[in-house]
Amino acid sequence: MDDIIHLLPDRVANQIAAGEVVQRPASAVKELLENAIDAGASHIQLVVKDAGRTLIQVIDDGKGMSFNDARLCFERHATSKISSAEDLFSIRTKGFRGEALASVAAIAHVELKTKRAEDETGTLVQIEGSEIKEHTLTTTADGTSISVKNLFFNVPARRNFLKSDATEFGCIEEEFKRVALIHPEVAFTLYHNGNMVYQLKSNNPKLRIVELFGKHFNDKLYPLQQESNYIKISGFIGKPECSKKKSPEQYLFVNHRFVKHRGLNFAVESAYSQVLPEGHHPVYFISIEVDPATIDVNISPTKIDVKLQDERMAFGFLNASVRKAIGEFSLIPQLDFDYNTELDLNSVPEKAELKVPTIEIDKTYNPFRRTQSSNGGGGRVLMGNRPQTAAPDWDNFLRDIHETQVQTVPSEPEQTSIDFQNEDEILVKEGSYLILYQKYMLVKIQEKPHLIHIARAYERIIYQSYMEALREKPVVVQQSLFPETITLTPARAELLQEIREDMHKLGYDIEPISGGNFAVNGTPNEEDMGDVQTLVECLLDDYQSQMLNHRMEREKSIAMSMARQKRSRKKVPSTPEEAEFFLRQLFACLMPTISPSGKKIYEVLEEDALTKILS
């Protein structure tokens, strides 16, 4: 029998590759925008018709291509970005596989006009279904303009799978945002069916977010900035109150590339677990930069996945940084500044006494050392040739950040919200505070009137003290002479066994007697105890629902439920001493601005706000 294996013609191979690279118009948009960025453009125009079905055009003012390159760029594996396998480990460009243009040209009618600044004339190339129709000199501006028409003209199956124009354009817009967000220095415009959808001028990162997502974001973001000698984290995270149940804006970039990474996403989400209500997800725009030698982006054709060499380290660092930002910035309510396009919002206003988050890092530490030796340096392509230095224990470092940052218990007074350098600032005298409706306290702190929701503040204070009790100093149990009995359903009884030890740390000594009966042998020494049966039942219900949703650590769930139940039993401060004690307790908390269930605890009544009320 004859040999039956043969090589596929290029156009067929290209079409197959296109199946992976170009799934919908938005994928072509992504590739073209990325090429423009790689070409060093400072202005990029995206013109789309019929959600990309009939036209996708990208015009850039980048470096352009020579006459020959303009033809070659449509060949498969034709790239100017790498030339050897080693180059894969120092990639700083978006592209490197050299297959995007070949793929797009295999399934559309493409027209390319390009010119380098140093050339007299430009080049025109027309290609349809991988077939070159035209390759001549032409007059055109410096840079590149590439039009992709009739996408999928020869792949009806793909064409038929396209969704509505609204959906497809939504995907295009999303790709556009991803590129625009991480390149705020580049100006972009997006037109759809002749209408201008975005016009983004070269900007700073924060204003780029505001331009893309709306002015309301201007005062909803905390800056994030943390750097060690081999990982840099920057960007913005949304304040807890702008979290969402559905489709929150979550943008994560690794080395300027938008990526989806479950572990890193979880690192951010879990940093918020204490300040977000159940089912809410945080908003974030985070850029992570690491040595390209320590990541692999070549694990999927669209490069949306990334593999990090040391995921545990990245996870720990990201999680700690986000926690730190939430902790520090939520404490400084005055930090919001007005929307002002002239203002560089990256810089911190002088009057806000911001402490730059620091995580102590041994600069001599080379994190790759351990992995390198365990891999013997051979075979593992991800390894670069990095200088070797003495390596302190990475696990200790991580544990340290974990212990200092991840715990909810503040140990340092510097973590309090308002920087009370002067104890007098929290001195409350007769007449210097007001209780309104038995619900709010109006008090001047640092010259500004603060309106405080008392019950929410107590919820935070109790939560904080319970977390402390659960993790460090258990509450003293006061033994009862005549133990009360509580009765629980079998399901609740079983659940109680799980958290009996924790309850003990909170001062409740509860012992099983028989069936669903439990003896309450001891309780904390509290003035207004409330009914233990109800307390335990509510706690168990909360605990169960938290656990079912895998939302929270056991301790947090318990502390949160207890704090919610106990807050209303706290007395509204009625003397200056009580008011002062209350305020000191509140501002000693790590997060005095938001209650554990995610509600605002106080508002600073700025003059503007008061003027508005009386306008």
Q: Which is nearer to Mg ion, 100 or 187 (CB)?
A: 100
Cα gap 148→52, rounded to integer Å: 8
Token reading at 269:
């989400």
25 binds Mg ion (CB under 5 A): no
Q: Which is nearer to Mg ion, 100 or 510 (CB)?
A: 100
For residue 38, the minimal CB distance to ligand ADP (Å) is: 6
The window from 90-98, 357-365, 416-424, 543-551 that contacts Mg ion (CB under 5 A) reads: 90-98
Helix, strand, coil % over all residues of the chain, rounded to 5: 40, 20, 40
Given candidates 65, 172, 454, 461, which one binds ligand ADP under the rule CB under 6 A? 65
Q: What is the DSSP letter of 594?
A: B
**Rounded to 5 degrees, what are φ and ψ at 563?**
-65, -40
For residues 339 and 214, is the Cβ–Cβ distance under 8 A? no
The window from 31-39, 141-149, 507-515, 532-540 that contacts Mg ion (CB under 5 A) reads: 31-39
Contacts (Cβ under 8 Å, ≥6 apart) of 382: 89, 293, 294, 295, 296, 307, 309
240 binds Mg ion (CB under 5 A): no
Q: Which is nearer to ligand ADP, 43 or 369 (CB)?
A: 43
Q: What is the DSSP letter of 552?
A: S
Given candidates 39, 221, 286, 563, which one binds ligand ADP under the rule CB under 6 A? 39
The window from 88-96, 419-427, 520-528, 597-605 that contacts Mg ion (CB under 5 A) reads: 88-96
For residue 545, the minimal CB distance to Mg ion (Å) is: 47
For residue 295, the minimal CB distance to Mg ion (Å) is: 18
Starting at the earlier edge strand, list the strands of the sheet with 517-524.
Answer: 477-487, 517-524, 509-514
**H or E, element range at 610:** helix 607-613
56 binds ligand ADP (CB under 6 A): no
Positions of E strands within 82-206: 109-115, 122-128, 131-138, 143-149, 187-192, 195-200
Q: Which is nearer to ligand ADP, 57 or 204 (CB)?
A: 57
Helices (H), 331-404: 368-375, 394-401
Environment class of residue 437 by beta-carbon count within 10 Å: exposed (0-12), middle (13-18) or buried (19+)? Answer: exposed
35 binds Mg ion (CB under 5 A): yes
For residues 443 and 450, is the Cβ–Cβ distance under 8 A? yes
For residues 589 and 582, is the Cβ–Cβ distance under 8 A? no
Contacts (Cβ under 8 Å, ≥6 apart) of 483: 519, 520, 521
111 binds ligand ADP (CB under 6 A): no
Contacts (Cβ under 8 Å, ≥6 apart) of 448: 334, 604, 605, 606
For residue 78, the minimal CB distance to ligand ADP (Å) is: 6
Binding partner of residue 455 among ligand ADP, Mg ion, none, CB cut-off 5 to 8 Å per kind: none
Cα gap 30→22, rounded to integer Å: 9
Starting at the earlier edge strand, list the strands of the sheet with 221-227.
Answer: 221-227, 231-238, 284-290, 250-254, 257-258
The window from 72-80, 267-275, 284-292, 471-479 that contacts ligand ADP (CB under 6 A) reads: 72-80
Given candidates 42, 80, 138, 202, which one binds ligand ADP under the rule CB under 6 A? 80
78 binds ligand ADP (CB under 6 A): yes
Contacts (Cβ under 8 Å, ≥6 apart) of 421: none
95 binds Mg ion (CB under 5 A): yes
30 binds ligand ADP (CB under 6 A): no
CA-atom Rg of the chain in angstroms: 30
Count interface residues toward ligand ADP (CB under 6 A). 24
Given candidates 91, 100, 172, 461, which one binds Mg ion under the rule CB under 5 A? 100
Cα gap 32→34, rounded to integer Å: 5
Cα gap 481→374, rounded to integer Å: 61
Q: Which is nearer to Mg ion, 22 or 100 (CB)?
A: 100
For residue 65, the minimal CB distance to ligand ADP (Å) is: 5
Length of the chain: 615
Amino acid identity, residue 551?
A: R
123 binds Mg ion (CB under 5 A): no
Q: Which is nearer to ligand ADP, 69 or 425 (CB)?
A: 69
Q: Which is nearer to ligand ADP, 88 or 532 (CB)?
A: 88
33 binds Mg ion (CB under 5 A): no
For residue 108, the minimal CB distance to Mg ion (Å) is: 15
93 binds Mg ion (CB under 5 A): no
Binding partner of residue 39 among Mg ion, ligand ADP, none, CB cut-off 5 to 8 Å per kind: ligand ADP
Q: Which is nearer to ligand ADP, 79 or 274 (CB)?
A: 79
Cα gap 595→459, rounded to integer Å: 6
For residues 258 and 251, is the Cβ–Cβ distance under 8 A? yes
Residue 476 CB coordination number (10 Å): 10
The window from 33-41, 251-259, 548-556, 605-613 that contacts ligand ADP (CB under 6 A) reads: 33-41
Q: Which is nearer to Mg ion, 32 or 180 (CB)?
A: 32
73 binds ligand ADP (CB under 6 A): yes
Site string for ligand ADP, 137-156 (x = CB under 6 A): -------x------------
Q: Which is nearer to ligand ADP, 60 or 509 (CB)?
A: 60
The window from 94-102, 366-374, 459-467, 504-512 that contacts ligand ADP (CB under 6 A) reads: 94-102
81 binds ligand ADP (CB under 6 A): yes
Given candidates 98, 512, 524, 598, which one binds ligand ADP under the rule CB under 6 A? 98
Environment class of residue 572 by beta-carbon count within 10 Å: exposed (0-12), middle (13-18) or buried (19+)? Answer: middle
3-state class (DSSP) for residue 551? coil
For residue 36, the minimal CB distance to Mg ion (Å) is: 9
- Which of 270, 250, 263 minimizes the C-alpha distance to 295? 263
For residues 295 and 240, is the Cβ–Cβ distance under 8 A? no
Token reading at 28:
């072509």
Count interface residues toward Mg ion (CB under 5 A). 3
36 binds ligand ADP (CB under 6 A): yes
366 binds Mg ion (CB under 5 A): no
Given candidates 24, 53, 97, 206, which one binds ligand ADP under the rule CB under 6 A? 97
The window from 22-30, 71-79, 171-179, 457-465 that contacts ligand ADP (CB under 6 A) reads: 71-79
Q: Which is nearer to Mg ion, 31 or 168 (CB)?
A: 31
Summary count for the chain: helices (H), strands (E)? 17, 22
For residues 282 and 238, is the Cβ–Cβ distance under 8 A? yes
Q: Which is nearer to ligand ADP, 64 or 333 (CB)?
A: 64
Residues contributing to the site for Mg ion (CB under 5 A)? 35, 95, 100
Residues contributing to the site for ligand ADP (CB under 6 A)? 31, 35-36, 38-39, 60, 62-65, 73, 78-81, 95-102, 144
